[in-house]
Amino acid sequence: MSQSHLVVLTGAGISAESGLRTFRDSDGLWEGYAIEDVATPRAWQRNPRLVLDFYNTRRRDVRAAKPNAAHLALAELENDYKVTVITQNVDDLHERAGSTNILHLHGEILKMRSDRDEKYIQEILGDMEEGALAPDGGLLRPNIVWFEEPVPLIAEAAKITNTADVFLVVGTSLQVYPAAGLVDLVPRHAPVYVVDKKLPPMAPHPRLHLIEQAATIGMREVLAALRRR
């Protein structure tokens, strides 16, 4: 008998407990920077040095962070389910926790790509330097889906969501689209679990299970509930 497919959508809340903050924690600022100055294509055109400095610092923060109990719990679920993690986060904490099937909707901070060809991607070993070129002559930029850019993997995420036997949302307020719209694509038969410190408004439904807790605490409840299924 094949394993049930557990599809997980994760957001900033799960990484916050590993010390990685996002702009939504501080009135539109991300570590003291306005989003339009460091996380848009216009910012890259206007001041690439500032953008690179910002992401070089964020990258060092990611490398220093460690997976927390919520990341580890998701990896543990692979013992009982076929698990696909769709994450809005750009860090590698899911990978380091042991999850093996991860789709990064918004890119990966430990990788860079050509600003001409988004399919030319390389890992970043140190800091990125201003003016570094890819083989195609394009400037190397962080492999991040910035604000005002399309989300190339959203169609693949939608297909994955359509195959869910169980759908789990962890650490996201479901306010960032198009990722938030994935919940509407979950098959009718699949139970949906939502874990967040501040739950978004959602219409009551028999298959909807809301857990208003931080990710590390809420995932304990999820594990217990899934073991009872």
The per-residue pLDDT string of the chain (229 residues; one tens digit each, 9 = 90 and over) reads 468 999 999 999 999 999 997 665 555 557 778 889 999 999 999 999 999 999 999 999 999 999 999 999 999 999 999 999 999 999 999 999 999 999 999 999 999 999 999 899 999 989 999 999 999 999 999 999 999 999 999 999 999 999 999 999 999 988 778 888 999 999 999 999 999 998 877 777 778 999 999 999 999 999 999 987 6
Q: Which two tokens stand for residue 88?
A: 């809005």
Please state, as a whole number, how many other Cβ atoms lie within 10 Å of the Cβ of residue 100.
Answer: 11
pLDDT at residue 1, as a whole number = 44
Instruction: Tell me if 168 sits within 8 A of 84, measured CB to CB.
Output: no
CATH no. of 1-20+68-106+151-229: 3.40.50.1220
Would you kindly state where each structural domain of the chain is located, as residue ranges?
Answer: 1-20+68-106+151-229, 21-64+108-144
pLDDT at residue 25, as a whole number = 53
pLDDT at residue 176, as a whole number = 75
Beta strands in the chain (DSSP E): 5-10, 29-30, 33-34, 82-87, 102-104, 107-114, 121-123, 140-144, 166-170, 192-195, 208-211
Can 106 be counted among the known catalytic residues? yes
- Residues facing residue 84 across a β-bridge: 7
pLDDT at residue 199, as a whole number = 84
pLDDT at residue 2, as a whole number = 67
pLDDT at residue 35, as a whole number = 86
Q: Which of 15, 56, 14 is nearest to 38 (CA)?
A: 56
* Alpha carbon separation from 115 to 4, 18, 119, 132 (Å, rounded): 39, 30, 10, 11
Q: Using CA atoms, how far apart are residues 77 and 92, in angstroms rounded to an integer?
A: 18
Q: Which of 71, 94, 104, 106 is catalytic?
A: 106
CATH no. of 21-64+108-144: 3.30.1600.10
- Residues facing residue 5 across a β-bridge: 82
Instruction: Tell me if 196 sits within 8 A of 180, measured CB to CB.
Output: no
First to last CA, the chain: 16
Residue 133 gets which letter from DSSP? B
Q: What share of the chain has pLDDT > 90, as a percent?
A: 80
Rounded-to-5 percentages of helix, strand, coil across the chain: 35, 20, 45
Q: Which of 73, 124, 89, 106 is nearest to 226 (CA)?
A: 73
